[in-house]
Structure 1
């Protein structure tokens, strides 16, 4: 379970591929580290005065939470509800089935292709898995900063907290 003193940019970073782990620190109540395959991670701690400090270089230098958030603004994320995603997935399934039945020619990132039943089945299975994930508490984005092309997800089960 995630017991954060703040979620701001740390939660968003976790959404885009990291996980948060809190560990005890010598001069802090707790340090939260976001581990991301593309960076060393972001750490934060709350000092004895309640001030939150953040580091992007494994604790070599620290900046205040407000300065960190100015440099790393939080994305505006719109999340699917289970019922919304279910309705959308059903509509997509119907449209893709029609495309497969008609052997529609479509433009994809891989070029022009004829839509097949196999393509429909693969995407329907992915959508069903996403729906199951949402049912089990995973947050899945409709949009990030208004962009509906990308997808972010957040699973609180991927976050661990270790206190001092």
Structure 2
């Protein structure tokens, strides 16, 4: 198989990566928006229908703060892939050269961003 054939079969996506400052600015705004959801109903594939509570908001913020910490530590976190922001890719470039095999786990959470519901993947911490 030629390199051109391999490239055609496994196209590399066009990825825009979050910067620390960019993700922090998004998170600062998201904290405000999440608090507005308390008492609202939402749905995830893992939990089904639920009502947003302060605890659920706090847990979401903790997860997002974990991603911000990953970015600060040098992890690459995708903002968009091929212009889409419906899932997130996270990896540590420092571990790539050490790895002998790779796997990808995708975990989904649903975040209701008024007035739309978006699916956002979540990295397990």
**Would you call these one fold, judging by a TM-score over 0.5?**
yes
Q: Distance in 2 between matches of 1:140 and 1:68?
A: 25
Shift of residue 64, structure 1, vs aligned partner: 2.6
Deviation string 1:124-146 (CA, Å, 9 cap, x unpaired) is: 01111100110111110011122
Question: Which aligned pairs between 1:11-160 and structure 2 lie closer than 5 A?
Answer: 63-100=1-38, 103-109=39-45, 110-160=47-97
| TM superposition shift of 1:98 | 2.2
> Could you list the runs of 5+ residues in structure 1 that have no partner in the other structure?
1-62
Write out per-residue CA displacement over residues 20-42 of structure 1, whole angstroms, 9 at most, x where no aligned residue. Answer: xxxxxxxxxxxxxxxxxxxxxxx
Structure 2 gaps of 5+ residues are 99-125
Aligned residues: 98
Give 3-state SS (helix, strand or coil) of 1:112's partner: strand
Cα distance in 1 for partners of 2:96, 2:15 equals 19
Higher-Rg structure is: 1
SS at match of 1:142: strand
Higher fraction of strand: 1
Q: State the Cα RMSD in Å.
A: 1.9
Q: 1:1-26 deviations in whole A, cap 9, x for unaligned?
A: xxxxxxxxxxxxxxxxxxxxxxxxxx
Q: Aligned equivalents of 1:107 and 1:132: distance in 2?
A: 27
Q: CA deviation at 1:66?
A: 2.1
